Amino acid sequence: MDPQATSVLLIEDNPGDADLVRLRLVEGRPAVRVNCVRRLSDGLAALSNEMPSLVLLDLNLPDSHGAETFRRVLEKAPNVPVVVLSGQDDEALAIKAVHQGVQDYLIKGDITSKHLERALRYAVERQGLLRSLEITRKQQLEFKNQFLSHVSHELRTPLTCIHQYVTLLLDGLAGPIAPVQSDHLKTVLKSVSQLHAMIRDLLEATRAESGKLRVEPRCVSIGDLIAQAVTMMRPTAAEKRVGLELAVDQRIPLVYADPDRALEVLINLIDNGIKFTPPEGSVTVKACVVETDPSAVYISVSDTGRGINPGALPLIFERLYQDSEAVDGNRSGLGLGLYIARELVALQGGRMWAASELGSGSTFSFTLPFFSLAKLLYPVVSCEGQLRESLVLVRVELTPLPISLRGNWKEICHQSLELLRRCVYVDKDLVLPQMGNNGTAETLFVVASTDMAGVNIMMERIREQMNTLPLLQAGEGTLRVTADSLPARAASDARTLEQQVWGVSDCVTEMILHGLGCKSNSKQEESREYAH
Ligand code: ADP
């Protein structure tokens, strides 16, 4: 510990103890700088100004007691060593503090200057060591993730090549093949698909671990998604003679989820259900609203299969976990499916869990949040407890000419959303998620905290950015940008802020429905149009 650089923050409310500790500190290390405060709030404020070399902390302060005291200090200054000053009577608590990240504890009555100096030096060194271990661990994790990601990508290329040539042979494009050869080639193709799925899982798990898994939530019908997943899995279920049932209340409101990712989760769970259920059994997918939780839809996939061992149940969402009894010739996964599924659900604001009875079957459940425009709008349309003074809804309509490639459409919409996000201020404006399209065009919306005069600049920016889309540069589509003012703060409005946000949200919904051609809207004539 460099004496010149040693500064200690002493958080101690007892003036006698504080003086004694300060004296011992200065005796042991004359160059030490001690800042003494009596309350936790003052200590936290001091940590906001300057990080000391070390914090000496009494646990029972006028504004904080016990474990809460060190929890808050560790949260505020995770990289600063903290040493607890403990009374004889709270030694057990001090030991608990050490378990949770505090470097050491000193019994107040036993402090000598030599003892204190040595304890502080060790604390600083230990903290430094821990920090470098953590850096090394992160570097190793990053290297492992990069390695896995690289290898997985490289493995894909030859696999795709095998897939293409086997398909070519199967289709008879290289000459006629005998039925037995066709059967063999189908087996090869099945194994290639399994390998593809494993590599995809490996890539996804690597992304999840390094925080790079992405979801793009939008407004979707969970009923439609479940129907799609069930349709896709019907052939697999039929092949194994497992029944596939569906019980979905069609009145369930729209959810806020990434449709591709939610579909992936559903397919994974249904696939597992079919895999672990013997012929003549069944898999049932349900979706319902639960009275105790009005904010989310509850989706479950139940099967009448072999069930899961109670000891294994807490482990099945762990990476690479596979029940040893389940790993037979038919297993094709890496034990990553449920881990990825749970991560994807969590990224979409839901949670996932499982229940099972050995021999009777299992139920995997997850939630997805309902779409609430008001909840999305709230932080953007309000400021300092009030509705903003002016609000505008900008509508960006992108229409491809019939000749343009429809296959690229999803990618174009994704790019458009990215471009729009570059045109707004994150704290004042909101690019709404895709709300669906009207069949021929994609319409995207931005809620902007500005007035009709100010929105011109934004619209200009939007046009400039959107015109960089290859579709528009190639003259294969048209762009139309329009704006409508939204109800904003009125001096006479006696409603609560929540009610006012609901009002804005209703109005935005009405305009979106109109924009998508779902409903007539009398405000149409008032809108100012800026056709491209
Ligand atoms: P994989 O990707 O290999 O299929 P998962 O993560 O999907 O792995 O599943 C992990 C383990 O959880 C499986 O090996 C199996 O033991 C258990 N499991 C998953 N779904 C079910 C189910 N519906 N019934 C019984 N066991 C299951």
Q: pLDDT tens across 44-71, in order?
A: 999 999 889 899 999 989 999 888 999 9
pTM over 0.75: no
Of 71-85, 151-165, 304-318, 484-498, least confident by mean pLDDT is: 484-498
- What strands, in cross-sheet order, belong to the sheet with 528-531? 430-431, 442-448, 391-400, 477-486, 528-531
Mean pLDDT over 390-415 rounds to 80
Residue 522 has a pLDDT of 37
Q: Is the CB of 391 under 6 A from ligand 1?
A: no
Mean pLDDT over 509-531 rounds to 53
CA–CA gap between residue 186 and residue 166 (Å, rounded): 8
Cβ–Cβ < 8 Å for 305, 359: no
Q: Is the CB of 315 under 6 A from ligand 1?
A: no
Does pLDDT of 530 surpass 60?
no
Confidence of residue 189 (pLDDT cuts 50, 70, 90): very high
Query: Going by CA atoms, what residue is nearest to atom 23 of ligand 1?
Result: 273
Expressed in angstroms and rounded, the spacing between residue 313 Cα and the centre of ligand 1 is: 10
**Could you tell me whether strands 442-448 and 391-400 are parallel, antiparallel, or unpaired per DSSP bridges?**
antiparallel
CA–CA gap between residue 407 and residue 438 (Å, rounded): 17
Does pLDDT of 484 surpass 70?
yes
Residue 357 has a pLDDT of 94
Does pLDDT of 497 surpass 80?
yes
> Which atom of ligand 1 approaches the CA of 323 most closely?
16
**CA quadruple 70, 73, 75, 77: dihedral, nearest 10:** -140
Query: Going by CA atoms, what residue is nearest to atom 13 of ligand 1?
Result: 322
Cβ–Cβ < 8 Å for 391, 504: yes
Q: Is the CB of 281 under 6 A from ligand 1?
A: no
Does pLDDT of 350 surpass 80?
yes
Burial string for 214-234 (b: 16+ CB within 10 Å, else e) reads ebebbbbbbbebbeebbeebe
Residue 404 has a pLDDT of 57
361 — alpha (psi -120 to 50), left (phi > 0) or beta? left
Name the residue among 253, 219, 246, 212 with its Cα closest to residue 232: 246
Q: How many angstroms separate the first and last alpha carbons of the chain?
A: 66
Residue percentage of the chain with pLDDT more than 70: 93
Name the residue among 395, 394, 399, 393 with its Cα closest to residue 479: 399
Mean confidence (pLDDT) of the chain? 87
Does pLDDT of 326 surpass 60?
no
Residue 118 has a pLDDT of 84
